[in-house]
């Protein structure tokens, strides 16, 4: 009975964490990772388990966004090809490094994302395709490589950077930016990170089924809620979640 209760709790945690993440384009680790640690897992084991489970977030969101035609194949390809090598390097890098100072730096940067979006009231409310030439795509890819490194190395928040980078550099509205982030980061980057982590780190495999099921459901529901919502609501949720993730990273 205790084991069934534990798996139900894991499922519900994953649904809630990934619902909010699918709405704002990142931040599942803000809820899910600390609870896995609270439930008794050491940080490295919790991180590897979380990384693998969140692949299902991308799958659930992809199913919903495909029905709406929100996906830009060029942007998805750039995100994956530029970010995946960074994810692998970050995952291998963090195994031999004390990540606390990196978390503090990422926390400060994440708080800056929230403030930047808040003080740019028109940002991300309408799509203005830009920087689609070779040089623009190259600079965009470089930014995504750096964010991919952070994704592989740290527990939460990197998807939020991708969302704002797509809004700022490529001119996407928030709803479309979140859709690209969930698919390319949720499936591509998290899948790459999951394979890397699974190969070099220990994973709590008996918790994975409940977490994956919750991530699938939460990802689908979050994507559905995002599609039904306006850009202004998504923008405000993004700003709140980036604020919370930044404070969480600073708090430790």
The angle formed by the CA atoms of residues 74, 53 and 33, to the nearest 5 degrees, is 110
User: What pLDDT sits at residue 154?
Assistant: 66
Each residue of 182-203: pLDDT tens digit? 888 888 887 887 787 777 778 8
Each residue of 146-160: pLDDT tens digit? 998 877 776 556 788
Q: Do 25 and 182 meet the contact criterion of CB atoms below 8 Å apart?
A: yes
Each residue of 64-114: pLDDT tens digit? 888 887 789 999 999 999 988 888 888 777 666 665 776 777 788 888 888
pTM, 2 dp: 0.85
Report which of 147, 151, 116, 156 is spatially closest to residue 249, judged by C-alpha positions. Answer: 156
Which tokens go with 183?
């698919």
Chain-centroid distance of CA 220 in Å reads 14
Each residue of 9-51: pLDDT tens digit? 999 999 998 898 888 777 777 778 888 888 888 877 887 888 8
């Amino acid at each position: 009975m205790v084991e069934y209760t534990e798996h139900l709790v894991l499922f519900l945690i994953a649904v809630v964490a990934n619902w909010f993440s699918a709405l704002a384009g990142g931040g599942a680790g803000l809820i899910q990772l600390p609870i896995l640690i609270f439930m008794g897992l050491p940080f490295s084991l919790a991180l590897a388990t979380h990384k693998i489970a969140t692949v299902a977030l991308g799958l659930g969101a992809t199913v919903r966004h495909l029905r709406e035609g929100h996906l830009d194949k060029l942007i998805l390809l750039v995100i994956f090809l530029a970010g995946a090598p960074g994810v692998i390097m970050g995952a291998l890098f963090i195994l031999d490094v004390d990540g606390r100072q990196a978390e503090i730096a990422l926390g400060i940067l994440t708080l800056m994302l929230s403030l930047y979006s808040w003080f740019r009231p028109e940002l991300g409310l309408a799509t203005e395709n830009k920087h689609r030439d070779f040089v623009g795509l190259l600079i965009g890819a470089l930014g995504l490589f750096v964010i991919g490194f952070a994704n592989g190395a740290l527990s939460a928040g990197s998807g939020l950077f991708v969302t704002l980078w797509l809004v700022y550099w490529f001119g996407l509205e928030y709803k479309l930016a979140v859709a690209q982030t969930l698919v390319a980061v949720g499936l591509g980057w998290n899948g790459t990170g999951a394979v890397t982590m699974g190969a070099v780190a220990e994973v709590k495999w008996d918790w994975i089924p409940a977490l994956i099921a919750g991530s699938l459901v939460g990802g689908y529901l979050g994507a559905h809620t995002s599609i039904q919502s306006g850009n202004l609501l998504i923008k405000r949720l993004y700003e709140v979640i980036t604020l919370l993730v930044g404070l969480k990273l600073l708090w430790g």
